[in-house]
């Protein structure tokens, strides 16, 4: 668990900056709302597993509890080429423990011990459980915010980006992956995609450091191809559709590694799986 400085937190209910931290409770001195604090896990809301409706998503939720296994499988057989070099990003943007870094919508994966995990579900590796459209952080309190493949799962990504802008310090960094060419994948919901131009609009209040394809064009094609074949050959039978998806993933995943080269093609943005955005708060 990442140690969190209580001074950066505020009440997500009334925005009061005066919270009392008495394990196992956090009490807002203004609105008197109480939240949970157990074993260094701050819980500002509670959603149960029962609220996940999609069948595949239930499996995903269970798999995500086995973080190492899940991440390894995702990296290997998922149709998206792992072009994102997380270690390099962490080394560059979170060089030491003095920076306050958070990963919004972390799920159960831990990108670094130096990063605070924030998610709507209370997975084992999550430090702060909250709604990412309404963060329990004070204004100008965080140095770096990561969010990878998260904003498509919230109904109002603009609202989250506004929150990111609010809680970041001046010149603070946002590092974000948003999908473009990906089939519908609820987790537990899926609302939107962004083109390279759309990314610029989403992060219009930031100075762009980097905006480039991530995943790449083969990844974009491959995932959609797998989905298309599964639709074609499953004759409306849902379990068969899931099965075909997995079989096709296993059969075709090596193709995605072409993206380690194709990602550098100037037109790869046309059908890239998604985009990586790095920007600085103005």
Query: What residue ranges bind Zn ion (CB under 5 A)?
Result: 11, 13-14, 16, 28, 30-31
Min CB(104)–Zn ion separation in Å = 21
Least Å from the CB of residue 240 to Zn ion: 50
Tell the smallest beta-carbon distance from residue 15 to Zn ion (Å). 7
Q: Give the nearer residue to Zn ion in terms of CB position, either 18 or 171.
A: 18
The strand pairing partners of 17, in sequence order, are: none
Q: How far apart are CA 107 and CA 70, in angstroms?
A: 11
Q: How far is the CB of 18 from Zn ion (least distance, A)?
A: 8
Q: In whole angstroms, how close is the CB of 134 to Zn ion at the nearest point?
A: 12
Question: 32 or 204, CB closer to Zn ion?
Answer: 32
Instruction: Identify which of residues 30 and 193 has a Cβ nearer to Zn ion in the complex.
Output: 30
Indicate the residue among 19 and 211 with the shorter CB distance to Zn ion. 19
Measured from the CB of residue 16, what is the shortest distance to Zn ion in angstroms? 4
Cβ proximity to Zn ion: between 31 and 47 the closer is 31
């Amino acid at each position: 668990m990442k140690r969190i400085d209580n001074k950066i937190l505020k009440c997500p209910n009334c925005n009061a900056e005066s919270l009392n931290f008495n394990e196992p409770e956090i009490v807002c001195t203004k609105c008197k709302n109480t939240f949970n604090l157990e074993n260094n896990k701050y819980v500002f809301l509670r959603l149960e597993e029962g609220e996940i409706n999609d069948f595949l998503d239930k499996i995903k939720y269970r798999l995500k509890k086995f973080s190492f296994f899940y991440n390894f499988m995702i990296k290997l057989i998922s149709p998206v080429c792992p072009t994102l070099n997380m270690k390099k990003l962490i080394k560059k943007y979170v060089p030491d423990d003095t920076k306050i870094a958070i990963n919004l919508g972390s799920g159960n994966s831990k990108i670094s011990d130096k990063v605070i995990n924030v998610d709507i579900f209370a997975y084992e590796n999550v430090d702060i459980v909250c709604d990412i459209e309404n963060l329990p952080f004070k204004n100008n309190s965080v140095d770096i915010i990561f969010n990878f493949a998260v904003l498509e799962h919230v109904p109002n990504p603009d609202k989250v980006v506004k929150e990111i802008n609010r809680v970041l310090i001046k010149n603070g960094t946002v590092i974000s992956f948003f999908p473009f060419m990906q089939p519908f994948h609820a987790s537990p919901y899926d609302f939107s995609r962004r083109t390279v131009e759309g990314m610029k609009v989403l992060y219009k209040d930031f100075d762009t450091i980097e905006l480039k394809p991530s995943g790449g064009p083969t990844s974009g094609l491959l995932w959609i191809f797998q989905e298309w074949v599964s639709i074609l050959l499953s004759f409306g039978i849902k379990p068969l559709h899931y099965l075909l998806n997995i079989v096709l993933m296993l059969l075709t995943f090596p193709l995605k590694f072409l993206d380690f080269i194709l990602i550098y093609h100037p037109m790869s943005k046309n059908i890239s799986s998604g985009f990586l955005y790095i920007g600085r708060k103005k």
